[in-house]
Amino acid sequence: MKVFAYGIRDDEKPALKDWESQNPEIEVDYTQELLTPETAKLAEGADSAVVYQQLDYTKETLEALAAVGVKNMSLRNVGTDNIDFDAAKELGFNISNVPVYSPNAIAEHSMIQLSRLLRRTKPMDNKVAKHDLRWAPTIGREMRMQTVGIIGTGNIGRKAINILKGFGAKVIAYDMFPNKELQEEGLYVDSLDELYAQADAISMYVPGVPANHHMINKDSIAKMKDGVVIVNCSRGNLVDIDAVIDGLNSGKISDFAMDVYEEEVGLFNEDWSGKEFPDPKIADLIARDNVLVTPHIAFYTTKAVDEMVHQSFDAAVSFAKGEKPSIAVDY
């Protein structure tokens, strides 16, 4: 049995080596290149392909992979919105993802960013770097004094809530599918509008499905408290970035943290040192003292990478054996 992997990064190689040592009977080959119609031929002779990329899995790409006899595709990530599922169904693909690799990683990063915004670490760090050791006017706020609204209470949202409880913050939450334990705690509000009206800070943990597209927009921001803090470490398309920039300019939004961006493909995970960004909005946001931009790194921990590699390769083997892994995507 052979598994071929695309887009293997250097930081994934230790986890891959560990998986290989545990599965010596499986032949593994890989490339650092992404899966495209042109690179699909590299998987010829394999039983399954393991992939991780930001590029779309278009009909053309899937057809090229199927043409070399590979119809088992295991994603090393959670997102599946870049897959042409109509083409996948037509071609008979088996697909899996890694829906839960380390909820703690994303929850920790988002709450660290919220704490940094409240304590104004970015402008203070800039002052210290210039040897300006004066306190004022860079005064912070305490997490325990905030009402924090959590949108989405799945695995990641619940981890974020636990972190907030440790800080002593008041937590309110909204989810179309409430968690029974949180419901018993009385954390849920009845509507997003109610959450917007009460929250000093808002953090989202929902998928980028069409129903959630630009849930943070001009109208929803208008319903929020003046000086609201917004954190998005989930999906870029949850936020209308133009509306957020307008909110920052007016002061309606006091601070903003983003780890994801709707137009991040070709922008994030690239070195722009000494070069001009192709997107002036990113340059504008990075330059602001009250905005924290990270390039989709919330997931990026040793534990998460290990889980993404191990789970995806396990699923690839299951598919090759004619079995259905627990993380198979039903579509």
Name the region of 75 (left: φ>0; alpha: ψ -120 to 50; beta: rest).
beta
Q: Any residues with CB less than 8 A from the CB of 247 and at least 6 apart, and which?
A: 221, 253
Instruction: Find the catalytic residue in 141, 158, 235, 310.
Output: 235
Q: Is the peptide bond before 280 cis (omega within 30 degrees of 0)?
A: no
Name the region of 79 (left: φ>0; alpha: ψ -120 to 50; beta: rest).
beta
71, 90 Cβ separation under 8 angstroms: no
**DSSP sequence for 312-326:** HHHHHHHHHTT---T
Q: How is the beta sheet containing 201-204 ordered, strand by strand?
A: 170-174, 147-151, 201-204, 228-232, 253-258, 291-293
Active-site annotation holds for 109: no
Instruction: Find the catalytic residue in 296, 307, 310, 323.
Output: 296
Q: Any residues with CB less than 8 A from the CB of 88 and at least 6 apart, and which?
A: 57, 62, 95, 331
Distance between CA 150 and CA 174 in Å, rounded? 6
Helix 121-129 and helix 103-119: axis angle, to 10°? 70
Write down the residue that tokens 């003292």 correspond to: 289
Q: How many of the other CB atoms lie within 10 Å of CB of 100? A: 13
DSSP character at residue 267:
T
Instruction: Find the catalytic residue in 108, 120, 141, 264.
Output: 264
Active-site annotation holds for 134: no
Instruction: Kindly list the distances between the CA atom of residue 148 and the CA atoms of 23, 173, 204, 225, in Å, as whole numbers in the listed order.
Output: 45, 8, 11, 12
Active-site annotation holds for 235: yes
Of 323, 319, 269, 328, give the one whose Cα is nearest residue 296: 269
Q: List, by residue number, the catalytic residues.
A: 235, 264, 296
